[in-house]
Structure 1
């Protein structure tokens, strides 16, 4: 069920800063029509840290409703508080999601044994499949391959989004886990090579801006077709890197507005509008990808 190009979806707001559900529906439809293989609703790119719990659950449920079974939906359930992550997980149990994605507890810097207990507690709160998410550049907490292997033994922990950008992690995790454990890149810049070396797909920021290209890239990469995949990736290289000139999702939300998929790049504090010094850089990247 889970493979290919999965978008880490932005959450659209109106000018007042409220979630705009009409735009959210349009955004979901845009991705389905462009060939996106799955949606992560209210992950970190979806600004989970500034949505209230009620908003968080409502956005996920609305995405499930808008998708209507056409592609898988993965709901974000991460927190740096285990009790809060468990609460979100329980509230998502009746949401209709196909899986949940839980980022490592940020800021706390728990030891590996703390990560094991955290993820076990979350997994025990549901029967829905769970996907681990390791992004130490944002969380200051690294989920090591040996810890991933231990957690892969939990019956409903089915995979990991690995966002270190370190391809050696892929081979380490593959060597320690069963073949059916799912491996997703969380780093667009190395996502192509990740798939060519045995990964199952990319949970992508770039997909927000260039969903058709990312879908085609993943399809070729997963088929082992390096040359056409590299040709597509060459058009996306600038987006892969420039979408992080400021903290995600500031640049990507600005770009999604520029291509007309949402009406504005509104964010919630402490995130602020993209600095004007980066506008032309990102416009150039979008022109290279032929989405602008």
Structure 2
């Protein structure tokens, strides 16, 4: 999934109807929205997709819908190790891979409970690898129900097997990210995609293959622009402004997410319900609306400042 060009891989939202059912028509429209913005891949059935609130059948249907809409234009990855045992997780990974995804993403925190030592995690990873044949895998340091971060040493070991081609990093630690990229630099099929936009430019500069962040569910075109221009010496001032924008707006974009992101898309004119299964409703409180209105105004101001360099203004 990695190329020399840095790519934005959105963590996809799942649109729902007002009755809580998955809105597959809107999912197709949303997929096209990411692609029009320049996404270089798609991460379906992830935390932003409300994957823990989808049935197994819905998970597979969502993935299939995304694949059908993408039509091979970009690679698609999807989370897949669901089940109470490693054997059950391996079986579901096979079902996800059979949909046609490029790689199945493994949630590290589902492989070992929070109180278990790291060796248990490593043993369970080895077991999962042995049960899933040659299926290409990725790892995701999913923060829910708790976060388990892979060490650079462990990630390097996994990538060296040739089976692991994708990593969504949520360590929030640029030192770790740099070390992970250093240890995995000799494996061109592998790519690290950083979730933490506070150090986006530093991460891309250190060798990360791209960005995979919730901010892309507000401003996908801006994340794409940063991936393409982070090291453009002619745009140093503009890059600094964009990086600072993401730093300054971090808290706003995380508040009441993913509902806030759906509300922002609705404000922009996208025919999408604000309903989330996490909350069970479409209600957006006044403070969230006020925060998103302010965010939109500051975004428009940013676009004006960099308009000469920003193709999507």
RMSD of aligned Cα (Å): 2.6
What CA distance in whole angstroms lies between the structure 1 residues aligned with 2:205 and 2:34? Answer: 24
In 2: Cα distance, 1:222 partner to 1:59 partner: 35
Question: How far does the alpha carbon of each residue in 1:24-68 deviate from its partner, in whole angstroms, 9 at most, with x for none?
Answer: 111111111111111100111111100000000110011000000
1:266 Cα offset (Å): 0.7
| Deviation sequence 1:155-187 (CA, Å, 0-9, x none) | 211232111211011122234334324221011
* Equivalent pair of 1:158/1:182 in contact (CA under 8 Å): yes
Q: Does 1:118 align with 2:118?
A: no
> How high is the TM-score relative to the length of structure 2?
0.83
C-alpha spacing 1:136/1:34, structure 2 compared with 1 (3 Å): closer
1:201–1:222 Cα contact (<8 Å) kept: no
Deviation larger for 72-81 or 96-105: 72-81
Q: Deviation per CA, 1:225-264, whole angstroms, max 9, x where unpaired?
A: 6544323334444443312123x42332332332233421
The Cα of 1:270 is off from its aligned counterpart by 5.0
CA distance in 2, matches of 1:259, 1:275: 18
Q: CA deviation at 1:102?
A: 1.9
CA offsets 1:70-99 (integer angstroms, 9 cap, x no match)? 111111214474344323211112211112
Shift of 1:141: 2.3
- The total of aligned residue pairs comes to 291
Is 1:150 paired with 2:160? no
Counterpart contact for 1:80–1:104, Cα < 8 Å: no
Out of 221, 237, 241, which is 2:230 matched to? 221
For residue 131 of structure 1, what is the aligned residue in structure 2? 138
In the alignment, the residues of structure 1 paired with residue 255 and residue 240 of structure 2 have an alpha-carbon distance, to the nearest angstrom, of: 23
Contact 2:77 2:102 (C-alpha < 8 Å) held by counterparts: yes
Return 5+ residue gaps in structure 1 as ranges: none
User: Quick one: distance in 1 between partners of 2:169 and 2:155?
Assistant: 10
Determine the C-alpha separation between the residues in 1 that align with 2:155 and 2:19. Answer: 41
Q: Which of 14, 17, 29 is the matching residue for 1:14? A: 17
| Deviating more after overlay: 214-223 vs 170-179 | 170-179
1:73 aligns with 2:73: no
Question: In structure 2, do the counterparts of structure 1 residues 261 and 77 end up closer, same or farther at CA, with 3 Å as the change threshold?
Answer: farther
Partner of 1:44: 47
Q: Secondary structure at the match of 2:173?
A: coil
Corresponding residue to 2:57 among 54, 59, 67: 54
